[in-house]
Chains A and B, each alone.
Chain A
Amino acid sequence: MASTALPITSGLPRGLRGVFPFLLAIPVLAALQLAVSERYFLVYIASIIGVNIILAVSLNIVNGMTGQFSIGHAGFMAVGAYLSGKFSLETKQLAISLLPVAVSDQLMFIVALLIGGSCAAICGFIVGLPSLRLKGDYLAIVTLGFGEIIRVIVQNTQAFGRALGLSGIPQRSSFFMVYFWVFVTIVIARRIAASTHGRSLWAIREDEVAAEAMGVNTTGYKVRAFVVSSFFAGVAGGLFAHFVPIINPGSFTFVKSIEVVVMVVAGGLGSTTGAILAAIVLTLLPEAMRSAFVALSGGQASLAQKVDQIRMPIYGILLVLLMLLRPQGLFGTKEIWDVIPRLWSRRRKGLP
């Protein structure tokens, strides 16, 4: 569960530990960006995977670590997508003076993402403050309701294009940007889990009465976890809006929320690694099915077109199987970074 610092960073001076992972990740991501920049389909799929990873990892903070059941993640994603998309659309013609256009565009993109994330976080706060006093099913119903409210509002607002959605948002997203945010989300989720705040969240999940008696402000912690989670959902939505040609209310339905919940549950409630892995698998699955069906039907696309319809029953069957065979999810509450050092030290001691 709550893990200690990685052995790599423990030898560093304190001031450096905070930024070290980023110093390492940014050059790697930049190199990858150069390698994949021309392969558009690959980048597109990778971006969808990235967005889903951000959604799953952030939802895991609420559903996994804190043990609250929220099923309105698509609502927060929609807030982020529409607001950052709208911002980019409105400021399309603007550029920051004295900077090259590409740099200025990327800076504006970051501003748009932060706007989307922050507005989603504010929504998270407003929704969370009254509803996190509720327990279990009630919270699920409130968050579900919130997601639907957002979708209906968007569907009926002229500024957001009603049912047609927003189109023409500048396609500023890139492999680097998506995976930079994936990295930020994972690092922050990990740091929360290993901090005194994360331990308080685990405590709330384990026993709320005892946590409260030990001085944990349970409502406050739940709201803060919810706010962080919705911020990243908003950022994920913002990223999404900048690489798909069009966003419409249909992208942020209840089904999308459930998809994210399935990822978190399948990966193991409370495991960031599990959420990442499940997000990758469950995003690739429909694509793999699509190509498999195309191959099976000898190039005819009729069956392949139905993938989106048969996707949900397959998710259902997978979940049922998973709950029967491994009820704690793929990873349970374990993390890959907890398991690897142990295996490593075991091998050094000459044990199997």
Chain B
Amino acid sequence: MSQVEDRVQHLHAVPEGASAQVETTEEVRVRTPEKVCGMGHRMKRKEDPRFIRGQGRYVDDVKLPGMLYMDIVRSPYAHAKILNIDPSEALATPGVLAVITGKDLQAAGNLHWMPTLMSDTQMVLPIDKVVYFAQEVCAVVATERYIAADAVEKVVVDYEPLPAVVDPFEAMKDEVIVRDDKENKTNHIWHWEAGDKEATDKVFSEAATVVKEKMHIPRIHVASIETCGMVANYDPTMGKMQLYMTTQAPHAIRTVFALVSGLPEHKIQVISPDIGGGFGGKVPVYPGYVVCAVASLVTGKPVKWIEDRSENLQADSFARDYWIEAEMAADAKGKITGLRVKTLADHGAADAAANPSKFPAGLYSICTGSYDMKAAHVEVDGVYTTKPPGGVAYRCSFRVTEAVHMVERMTDIMAHELGEDPADFRMKNFIQPDQFPYKSPTDWEYDSGNYPAALQKAMQMIDYRGLRKEQAEKRARGELMGIGISSFTEVVGAGNSRDFDILGIKMFDSAEIRIHPTGKAIARFGTKSQGQGHETTYAQIIAEELGIPASDVEVEEGDTDTAPYGLGTYASRSTPTAGAAGAMAARKIKAKARKIAAYLLEVGEDDLEWNMDRWQVKGSPDQHKTIQDIAFAAYTNHPQGMEAGLEATDYYDPPNMTFPFGSYIAVVDVDKGTGNVKVRRFVAVDDCGNIINPLVVEGQVHGGLTQGLAPALFEEIVYDENGQNLTGTFADYLVPTAVESPKWETGHTITPSPHHPLGAKGVGESPTVGAPPAIANAVVDALWHLGVRHIDIPATPERVWKALRDAGVSDD
């Protein structure tokens, strides 16, 4: 037995005296029969019948009588003064009703600027100058989509080009000021630190080995297949504004719209219908949304605005763009002792990230990852450049991806530098199961974890030792094969409300359950699925708690007139927050049901015990009332003095984040001639605590893995020196197809969250966070013996080929 296997032989054992510790298992717990379909069932999704028939209803499917169409004139320059906007030719076109400019918005009540979700400001439409390529300059409203598109070409805008500043390091010199609207004439937005600098410096001064690397986590785009859009429908008679909108956070958006526009909040209804993928890109408010709403206000008619793909890729919020300089220290025994990180965060023309207020760099300070170390210190500086504002998440919890990529790359570099196997090195340095709850050097309290178990399982699934032998044989023959590991820790499920907010709105989430007299139910939530399957998994949670079949529970989200207030779906927060709220609301219902059952059975409440779907008399299970019996009684025969009905609402404020984790192993073959990287195998073992629907979890993991593969090998938003976007279509911005995406091999361990009511954790983003470093580590692992120490992602054939050429392998 190797050192590694020895270390984890007691995979499932709970060490004595570790009271807060939870056990790790592999079997998905199922407590309800298939008819009820509670947690653990592979239930087919309830939302699918409409999608497979083409009957989903997305924003662009909304068609209202008399609806007008809006299209947007965009800047051809990254940085330019606006000298004049001449809309006369456009306005003379039959069918064109209005051209809306920044000056119009200013006259309408200073609506030409809006707050970003980071309390920065961003132009809705500019008056003086543009600060990024494809920036919204003015909008055309017409009777038909094609006429609006034609009229865009007829608006004449005179620009005086200004120098662009594309490189964030250049921007820090303040030679070209992006935001001269601000009092401080500097591009430096903020400086942020976490951890203990002094302790970290001390650890480094005492280190036996220090490794250092610079890396860029490039600018990428979520590129959901549905672009962004809106149908704004202002009813002047009732003074009500209805906004069908591609948004992941309808309630927060309603409040922002109310605060910015001055419209009373009860007269704003945000409807987020079916959403064709979000991934963080549909959290922010883009200028197009605001102008579309204004266009409906001005015309008194419904107005539709739908981006095309180029607008989406060129102007909507990007993700990542972190320039990192990291150092890792280890002692003489090869134990990691510290991490020191400096980062420049390129935010483009506004800090339009969607992070909680206290966290301008998001949860980047989770960067010590899965490793137990004495000290860490991390610094981030935000900077403006003349590029579109951001950055959003791209399927990750507030900058966790950047943190995980850095620490997993550094861990691999350290392992290679010390001549240790990367798996053994990780096992040696993991936070061990008996250390949970674990306080990290940057002050996170990890709720639960069993990192050796997940890595061990991944190694078994892929035959890690066998692969290392194969690699040695191939290397002897001159072939390039790499094996890369990533043992990530995620931090998802914001809030708690002490620490997490969006523009001051606390990050709780909500559920409201109403049981109808016949025992069926409707449940509404403050989140909003964009494909995650909430209509199914939330119904399963209620089925688990109340025994009402999941098929009898209708789940609704996304209409602010009916759903309870919530912060929306992003950062893998739905199950940790709204899912928990669903369980808690069900428990409130269960408590009332007990009173009704006691009344009906003429026994005391204490004489009753809950059994799956019923309250039964202890020791006499034949005497019982099912939840359906009780629901009927709640409306027909409830005790005198008790309120009728059976419903409950819960606003759940989680005590802590959840910390899902996993170990991924990638096997790549590198073509020496072309530099092409092929992912031959990829094993992913995830641990998201208790699993609500294994089918849905598998789907989430597969999808996240492809979105992890994407930035590792293909996707990057590229600008030229003038700030022109060179990747504005899907012909240039390379989203992986089924051919590039390997057959994902997945497994799981189950280490429940000790604080979540269902023991569950978020999962949708873990694979996007965990996959890129596994692939990047595999690519470098294939080339390490040639002297290659690092390759930035995406590891394109060109980049890999250049590294091979520099190592003297490939010819020019």
Q: Do A and B come from one complex?
A: no
A→B interface (CB under 8 Å): none
